Amino acid sequence: MNPSAPAEEAPLKGFGNDPWWLIGGKVLVVFAFLVVTVLLTMWIERRVIGRMQLRVGPNRAGPFGLLQGLADGVKLALKEDIVPRQVDKVVFVLAPVMSAVPAFISFAVIPFGPEVSIFGHRTALQLTDFPVAVLLVLAMSSLGIYGVVLAGWSSMSPYSLLGGLRSSAQMISYEIAMGLSFVAVFMFAGSMSTSEIVAAQHDRWFVLLLAPSFLIYVVTMMGESNRIPFDLPEGEGELVGGFHTEYSSLKFAMFFLAEYINLTTLSALATTLFLGGWDAWPISVVWSGANSGWWPILWFLGKVFLFIFFFIWLRGTLPRVRYDQLMKIGWKVLIPLSLAWILVVGTVRALRNDGYEMRQTLIVASVAVAVVLIATLVWDRLRGGEDEKEIVPGAADAGGGPDPSAGGFPVPPMDAPHYHGRGGKPAGASTIETPPEEVTSGTH
């Protein structure tokens, strides 16, 4: 812990002393903020993607289509709630609740602003905080995956089950890399408290000091959000709707709500850990009052919606990746890179404690990591990437791979007869007999 630790511990003393009416008011404000943000995000997403695809987007329900999200919510609430016969009804009903509730809880530790006066009572613009607040967000993110997995399992549908299995594998792959990307932030801030992490960035945001951690988190938060290009648990192209194929009405709406709340929470967490939270560092240099009063809420919301726009931009730009590519990015790229970067940050901190200049050491370490990363990518390309090789027609004759016509991997021959059907017919052959007279007469 650095010498300024007593000053950094001060923000935590203000939590837990609020009266009951103020705590209840904060809960209602956070809940209303998330619901309104979901409706606004849906409208922004449709308008932005519409413009990107040379369409107008929603423009009928309300001015500029602003009430389109509300209309969709009313429509979902009034639709018939269909429950298939063979599902596990208890788990089937609890699954969407387990996805939505952790999404709301995660936002309890996100700071909106500094300490202000509300009806004469001094309080921080944050519901609560504690020394390991960031771990609460990771825990709630892990619990939210249980809702997806149980929804796929309880639906008794192969498409839903595959979506749930994909979600569990995706969560394990990207949750580890996400947790590792936070370690460098904890080292520099000296705490896991969200308010103390924001206070540690009063003169410089961590996105400048810890750019690799920020980039790793940006990729992992896209994987955690289950959105394009990482929406493999839904996969409409191959799984119909994935884990929520059998859901309708309010149960489907809760999955929909959980997805957009997670989007907001991940954006707010990125803002808190890497962009100074509500702190207006560049603006505060020329305006001393930028970080006082209610102004910081504006800076916080601007950063959050900037991240949300980034999510929307990626959805309208990138295609869905293959599942093997998803796993490869998580296990072979993000996790090793996170471990290497943690080692570099720990070394830099140790050298700083010994009196070395931090900026020069960090630059040298970053260059070293970049060289190692580039060398690794070059080696993977030179090696040929065994898991990326494709079978090229005619390559079998040159000894470059298996012959597809031999019945091997990955596709069995389409023209070779396989006699395993009824009456000894080749696979794929028609079982309808054609009368001889129709053949000779040429009629159909």
pLDDT digits (tens, 9 = 90+) for 17-74: 778 888 888 899 999 999 899 989 989 999 998 888 888 888 888 888 888 888 888 8
Per-residue pLDDT at 359? 67
Per-residue pLDDT at 147? 83
| Closest of 107, 130, 109, 121 to residue 22, by C-alpha | 121
Interatomic CA distance for residues 341 and 368, integer angstroms: 10
Per-residue pLDDT at 33? 92
Per-residue pLDDT at 428? 46
Q: In this predicted model, what pLDDT tens digit does every residue of 205-221 receive, in sequence order?
A: 888 888 888 999 998 88
Instruction: Report, as an integer, the average pLDDT of 251-266.
Output: 86
Per-residue pLDDT at 432? 46
Contact 194, 261 (CB under 8 A): no
Instruction: Report, as an integer, the average pLDDT of 162-189.
Output: 84
**How many residues are given for the chain?**
444
Instruction: Report, as an integer, the average pLDDT of 198-203.
Output: 86
Interatomic CA distance for residues 157 and 170, integer angstroms: 20
Q: What is the pTM of this model?
A: 0.76
Per-residue pLDDT at 7? 39
Per-residue pLDDT at 72? 86
Helix ranges (DSSP H) in 156-203: 158-189, 194-199
Categorize the per-residue pLDDT at 277 as very low, low, confident or very high, splitting at 50, 70 and 90.
confident
Domain segments of the chain as ranges: 16-280+291-383
Contact 186, 274 (CB under 8 A): no
Helices 249-274 & 158-189 angle (0-180, nearest 10): 20
Per-residue pLDDT at 436? 46
